[in-house]
Amino acid sequence: MTSKIHKYLILAVLLPWLGACSTGQMVARTSTSIMDSNVEAMNRETDPVLAEASMPANLKLIEGLIQEDPNNSKLLTYAAQGFYGYTFGFVELSDRQRAEALYGRGADYGKRALQSFGVDIDLDTASVDDIDEAVGKLGKRAVPALFWTASNWAKQIDLRRTDPTSIAQLPATERLMHRVLELQPDFYYGGAHIYYGVYYGSRAPMLGGDFTKSEQNFASATAVTGGKLLMVDVLQAEYLERQRLDQQHFHRLLTRVVDDPVGSFPEMALANQVARARARYLLDREADWF
């Protein structure tokens, strides 16, 4: 009798939930822990060719799960993160037009994730004050969505530098990242500091750049991992040192990255392999820029 009562109690708890969810939604919602493991495994990949070949299938899988559960904030955030990583690592340097579209796709998923957290304004048209008010209500759970939305959106804008309408949206991305800095400044190995290093370093002072702030933010990002995340040096060379025409520092930073042994930071092995490849690409063009 007791076991029957126990079974009925379990059914009473589960039935309303099961009735509200389709089989597809159930699968989507139980897949997020697998996605966590998948992201970790991808981050530890040392073979960039294998990573590049496998990432599109992973992205389509996530998109399929989102079709089943369109408001799942974790899946939407995974999509934003995945499109950023794939585009930055394997598309941007070879096909800027395609990269622009893929960053936009990632940004759209990120914006949908933020909507699921309660951001009920149109981020594309909202004023900076309205964005501040909306994201100011978000807590730490929304940090990944804020970070990957801002990262994709800012990169899309970076590839549209000749479009004044797009450039006008850059402050919106900054307000999203500012909230990340308030809530969790060390998120994704100091990623918000990397963003601000690029944000202040990629423009001349007369256009809103600030080389001192850029250098400070790159230093803060370096401190989070003790210099093990090589992309910090690559982006400092690419955006700050190129802008202030410091060829010596440009060359020294990128050479350090190329010479760093594979496996020096296992948790982010793929990111470091991408950094090495980008460093070689930039060094090959050093004579054109200085």
> Domain range spanning residue 273?
21-289
Is 9 part of any domain?
no
Instruction: Kindly tell me if the per-residue pLDDT of 23 is higher than 80.
Output: no
SS3 at position 245: coil
Task: Give the model confidence (pLDDT) of 202-213 as tens digits.
Answer: 999 998 999 999
For 94, 151, 187, 214, the CA distances from 195, given in Å and listed in that order, are: 22, 8, 12, 9
- For 149-200, the pLDDT digits (tens) are 999 999 999 999 888 888 899 999 999 999 999 999 999 999 999 999 999 9
Residue showing tokens 């960053």: 103
Q: Cα 213 vs. chain centroid, distance in angstroms?
A: 21
Q: Is the pLDDT of residue 16 over 50?
A: no
CA distances from 122 to 112, 118, 150, 174, 179 (A): 10, 12, 14, 16, 17
Give domain status of residue 5, yes or no: no
Domain of residue 59, CATH code: 1.25.40.920
Q: What's the distance, CA 278 to chain centroid?
A: 17
The whole-angstrom separation of Cα 61 and Cα 152 is: 20
Rounded Cα–Cα distance for residues 177 and 63 (Å): 25
In a 13 Å sphere around the CA of 36, the CA atoms on its Cβ side amount to 7
Does residue 10 belong to any structural domain of this protein?
Answer: no
184 in a structural domain: yes
For every residue of 121-166, DSSP letters joined together read S-TTT--HHHHHHHHTT--GGGHHHHHHHHHHHHHHHHTTTT-HHH
Backbone angles phi, psi at 121, to 5 degrees: -115, 160
Q: Inter-axis angle of helices 96-116 and 73-90, to 10 degrees?
A: 160
Which range has highest mean pLDDT (23-27, 86-90, 262-266)? 86-90
What pLDDT score does 28 carry? 58
The DSSP symbol for 266 reads G
pLDDT, tens digit, 9 for 90 and up, residues 92-142: 999 999 999 999 999 999 999 999 999 999 999 999 999 999 999 999 999
Residues 243-287: tens digit of each pLDDT = 999 999 999 999 999 999 998 999 999 999 999 999 999 999 999
CA distance 255 to 258: 5
Residue 24 has what pLDDT?
63
Say what the pLDDT of residue 4 is.
47
**Does residue 106 lie in a domain region?**
yes
Among residues 228, 224, 196, 221, the alpha carbon closest in space to that of 209 is found at 196
Does a structural domain hold residue 266?
Answer: yes
Question: Is 2 inside a domain boundary?
Answer: no
Q: What's the pLDDT band for 9 if we cut at 50, 70, 90? A: very low
Confidence of residue 15 (pLDDT cuts 50, 70, 90): very low
Provide the domain count of the chain.
Answer: 1
Given a cut of 90, whether residue 80 has pLDDT beyond it is yes
Amino acid present at 275: A
Q: Higher-confidence residue: 41 or 22?
A: 41
Q: Tell me what pLDDT residue 8 has.
A: 39
Q: Give the Cα separation of 96 and 45 in Å (integer).
A: 25
Q: What is the pTM of this model?
A: 0.90
Of 23-32, 118-127, 228-237, the one with minimum mean pLDDT is 23-32
Top mean-pLDDT range of 3-12, 64-73, 227-236: 227-236
> Which of 34-48, 54-68, 268-282 is the least confident region?
34-48
Evaluate whether residue 190 is within a structural domain. yes
Please give the span between the terminal C-alpha atoms of the chain, in angstroms, as a whole number: 84
What percentage of the chain has pLDDT greater than the value 70? Answer: 89
In this structure, how many other beta carbons lie within 10 angstroms of the beta carbon of residue 112? 22
